[in-house]
Amino acid sequence: AYTISFAGADEGLLRVVDLEAGEVVDELTGTLGDVVWLGDGKYYYTRLYRSSKTPDGVDPPAERVFLREAGKEEMVFGEGLPSSHFISLKPSSGCEQALLTISYGWASSTVYAGRIDEPGEWRMIYGGDYLAYPVDYVDGEYLVVSFEGEGMGRVVGVRDGKVRLVVGEGEHPIRSAAFFNRKLVLNYLVNAASRLRFFNLSGELVREVAFDIPGTVNSLSSSGNALLFKYESFLIPYRLYRVRENRLELLESSELELKWSYEVEDEWVTLGDGTRVHMFLVHRKGVVLEKILIYGYGGFGVAITPSFHPYAVPLLEDGGVFAVANVRGGSEHGEKWHREGMREKKQNVFKDFIACIESLKAAGARVVAAGISNGGLLVGAVLTQRPALLDGAVIGYPVLDMLRFHKLYVGKAWVPEYGNPDDPKDAKYLAEYSPYHNVRRTRYPPVLIYTGLHDDRVHPAHAFKFAARLREAGAPVLLRVEKASGHSGASPEVKIHELSDILAFIYKVLGLSAPESSA
């Protein structure tokens, strides 16, 4: 099965394909999630129970689990689940158990499980005011990653309501996990880059896999007698690896042909309160670090790890520097790092980003800050708080009106992360940093704001209103509106045009020049 997004909208089309015949045998529309096969043409899938787009100001729906059989669907789990709860679903490796995570916000979740063919008997087995998710069901025991405690992640075994510690918390956070060849495979983040560690069921470390360049392990999963995962980095679109019989094999790779040699540096910036913020610096070897694009996000527990950014490649080839700041609000250093950048502590995120930019500017560099979605909020806040600090700002598909975000599309789902604007206590700190409410008549650097009319997650009105207010204040601002893109992306053709315009803006501000192409 695969899902198609039309013009980058969250809502899409799920197609089920008979691989032997090569034919589409079923189609579903809506905001769809995980699919679990049951055999005989039956399968489970998760879907938001409201089939049409959420109206502005209405509580966003919760997810439900549906059974699809003979072209009909039946809700089998999640009835009565409150608004803004989300479900992930997968089978155990033996396919006898259903393993579910129900999440509310981005800081708490509960784990449910039960025989895969008895959804009416699925019951909560673990969870609380912290994150947790199931790994597998082994020898009558559920293996669960739990972020209870210091928030770095541990693995526990749950059997008949009793919990035992399998792998304790370490100094680095767990990003993902799988079970393979009777080993727990844990993907840790070490300085925001992936490192795989293999443990036996007694919790003993038996193997560690590091990589030749800082990067990110994605899609970690076991399939039969093999462990599969993808790997990417700033200049590596992807590598596909397989572990079989304790051998690591590179199955497939997409490598760029680059004119220069590059290096990835780990930098640390220390704030006045002692907080240390990690930053990646990617650049040609020997280049002067004077024309810098810095990227940040800082929210929802999203770790910004080394990944392939197409627009960064020409920038690097032409002598620019790509920086990534791992500010608070993400999970690069565990769940505590996330919680230090949410709700009333959101200003910490902006302080971290400002400190990183200041460290780059101290050597005389020109700096353009870029962010998308919640990262657009980050750049918008820094722009309005410290406009003289930046040489330029690129703000994409952003959340910018922090007193009305909950009244637009599915914005109410973000209240656990940001706070509730209808609560006077929360509204006070939201108003203090809300970019839209903090534009004033002063000198601003050049600003590019871009959005898409098919964004059904973050309303384009955020971008429209902020651009209008900046223009009213005399700021040099450009607003780019794409008719055929959304929060989940766009077609390659549309994306190429969007990235070309973004790069042209960055090159202009930083004073970069692309080599002339030969006829």
Q: Which residues are catalytic?
A: 373, 455, 487
Nearest CA to 409 out of 401, 506, 7 is that of 401
Q: How far is CA 66 from CA 1, 413, 465, in A?
A: 15, 22, 39
Paired residues of 154 in beta bridges: 146
> Taking a C-beta distance cutoff of 8 angstroms, is the pair 132, 54 a contact?
no
Which helix (DSSP H) or strand (DSSP E) does residue 377 occupy? Answer: helix 374-385
Q: How far is CA 120 from CA 75, 92, 396, 413, 496, in A?
A: 11, 18, 43, 27, 47
Nearest CA to 499 out of 490, 487, 510 is that of 490
> Taking a C-beta distance cutoff of 8 angstroms, is the pair 135, 144 a contact?
yes
- One-letter amino acid for residue 405 of the chain: F
Q: 470: helix, coil or strand?
A: helix
Sign of CA dihedral 484, 488, 490, 495: positive
Alpha-carbon span 475 to 442, nearest angstrom: 8
Cβ neighbours of residue 198 closer than 8 Å, sequence gap 6 or more: 183, 184, 185, 186, 205, 206, 207, 208, 209
Alpha-carbon span 34 to 19, nearest angstrom: 19
- Provide the token pair at 321: 């520097």
Tokens 């025991």, located at residue = 141
- Provide the token pair at 493: 């053709």
Torsion of CA 504, 507, 511, 513, to 10 degrees: -90
Nearest CA to 54 out of 33, 14, 84, 89 is that of 84
- 347-361 and 374-385 helices, crossing angle to 10°: 70
| DSSP calls for 34-86 | EEEEEETTEEEEEEES--SPPPTTSPPPPEEEEEEETTEEEEEE-TTPPTTEE
Alpha-carbon span 213 to 113, nearest angstrom: 38
Tokens 């089978």, located at residue = 91
Sign of CA dihedral 414, 420, 422, 426: negative
Instruction: Count other Cβ atoms within 10 Å, centred on residue 169.
Output: 19
